[in-house]
Structure 1
């Protein structure tokens, strides 16, 4: 399968968290390494970004429902409302509404579709969080680098990745309360002989998972019922981070990547490292566009 790609205006140090906003036809994603939020419009090819300031803090961007210029972003230990017109290089305002784990200075929020933190120390001091109207609830402890998350169409299962475990796990999910339980392994990279580590994740209309493989130069398509791999989509760079379906029919898969963690020799041989990739012949559509945040 070929994988034509679109390289963004600025190659990302650590691209992550793609989020499709159907109402405006924009794909939002972040560059954690530059602490920036990007807006890419496939119809015009325009890519703009807003600089948040600081370093290694912005790892998710989620539009606020009904408000075109207001977003939830992470910023270090904080979750903030950002007001941005989608064009200006600086936000109009940043307002913190939740903050966690001051006892772990090196911890930060991570990825783009769930409420969680990660530990940059390599120790399992992070946690998986649930945010409900600004109320913070710690759901799982002992997390190291919290990553991909997705829900099945009936909202009875939540899929989840803690990257160093090299597994995709699944929880039972209660949509009424937001509670999760009965965590168990679904796809074990080590047991399946998979190279790379699981990173970000999305889900297609058939309920199958698409998982980015950091260090694996690929995304893998997994049937969560059988626990078997359907296929592999290869990319011309090592560190594939996440994906999101986009477009009017959710038929295009956008995939983020990173150039961090590569040697000079690897960077020279991987000029596409850090690009935003556009997979136009994936063969399936997405389950749904990204959900907006409801304050």
Structure 2
């Protein structure tokens, strides 16, 4: 199979994020949200007006999800989960401190837990799949990350069921068109796995390897999104790339972002969901790498790829 390469040289927003991540498109407001985990910030960008900015928080915000009732955002924090009303993310952004509602969750962390990392709502909208990460320096001796299915109880609280343990850094997730298979990224193992997914119960089993590319040129798998053909777009840490995988696990397109290095997440946005927004991170880089990749930590957008995405499922809970 011939692999096509598309090059995007310039970044869109020059925020120089320590750990840009968690890109999420809001099709109702036509706005992009993303985070700087280390910088404790949520960014908002509205392409139609060019208005952008951020709100600051008192702790790491690691990942975001939308709500079906359009009341605000769900957020994974370094040490828990939260609900953020849209009036706590004012638009235009004020670049000032903001507040949020901590959500009660009875969850016993695995030994070696570091913080929450990734999240994604499953196709039913009833389950918020939330992943944690281990202390990276402990790998490969141990792996203390987990993946949880979070649901809302009748009294309005949250309940969490452990789906997977012995993980390193929980990252990009997605589902096949028939909802029978979960894709899940385990970053330090450099793999994307496929699991049987029971859409009725939310249980997972029978892991097989979808992609395990131990190649410096292709980097470490981080966040992911899917197009409307259910192909995987995998952001690749340390490689300046986003890679498109076919459902059979073959690479058929590479988006090269030479001025970025640590590519962390990607999401489809724009009025027609045909613009690929890509976050990056400057953390963990040397002076030489920063010199060679001067836009590392910025937000990129890639247009004209010839593909379209779909908005992520919204969570059906109320807060």
Name the TM-score, length of structure 2 as normaliser. Answer: 0.85
- Who is 2:103 aligned against? 96
- Who is 1:81 aligned against? 83
- Who is 1:260 aligned against? 283
When residues 45 and 104 of structure 1 are mapped into structure 2, their CA distance, relative to the original with a 3 A threshold, is: farther
* Distance (Å, rounded) in 1 between the aligned partners of 2:102 and 2:231: 37
- Who is 1:8 aligned against? 13
Contact 1:82–1:91 (8 Å) recurs in 2:
no
Unaligned runs of 5+ in 2: 1-5, 121-128, 153-157
- Who is 1:210 aligned against? 233
Contact 2:110–2:144 (8 Å) recurs in 1:
no
Of residues 160, 185, 201 in structure 2, which corresponds to 1:136? 160
* Distance (Å, rounded) in 2 between the aligned partners of 1:52 and 1:11: 18
- Who is 1:109 aligned against? 116
Stretch deviating more after TM superposition (37-46 or 2-11): 2-11
How many residue pairs get aligned? The number is: 289
Stretch deviating more after TM superposition (205-214 or 1-10): 1-10
The CA deviation at 1:106 is 5.4
Contact 2:113–2:145 (8 Å) recurs in 1:
no
The CA deviation at 1:165 is 1.3
RMSD of Structure 2 on Structure 1 (CA): 1.9
* Distance (Å, rounded) in 1 between the aligned partners of 2:109 and 2:269: 36
Question: After superposition, what is the alpha-carbon deviation per residue over 1:127-172, rounded to whole angstroms, capped at 9, x for unaligned?
Answer: 1111111210111110011111011222111111101111111111
* Distance (Å, rounded) in 2 between the aligned partners of 1:28 and 1:224: 27
Contact 1:101–1:107 (8 Å) recurs in 2:
no
Contact 1:7–1:272 (8 Å) recurs in 2:
no
Q: Using CA pairs below 8 Å that are at least 6 residues apart, which structure has the higher relative contact order?
A: 2
When residues 184 and 228 of structure 1 are mapped into structure 2, their CA distance, relative to the original with a 3 A threshold, is: same
Contact 1:119–1:145 (8 Å) recurs in 2:
yes
3-state SS in 1 of match to 2:188: helix
Name the TM-score, length of structure 1 as normaliser. Answer: 0.91
Contact 1:77–1:101 (8 Å) recurs in 2:
no
3-state SS in 2 of match to 1:164: helix
Contact 1:214–1:240 (8 Å) recurs in 2:
yes
Runs of 4+ in 1 over 6 A off after TM superposition: none
3-state SS in 2 of match to 1:132: strand
Are residues 1:243 and 2:266 paired?
yes
Unaligned runs of 5+ in 1: none
Question: After superposition, what is the alpha-carbon deviation per residue over 1:262-289, rounded to whole angstroms, capped at 9, x for unaligned?
Answer: 1112112211101111010222111x21
When residues 169 and 105 of structure 1 are mapped into structure 2, their CA distance, relative to the original with a 3 A threshold, is: closer
Of residues 301, 304, 316 in structure 2, which corresponds to 1:281? 304
* Distance (Å, rounded) in 1 between the aligned partners of 2:199 and 2:241: 32
3-state SS in 2 of match to 1:34: coil
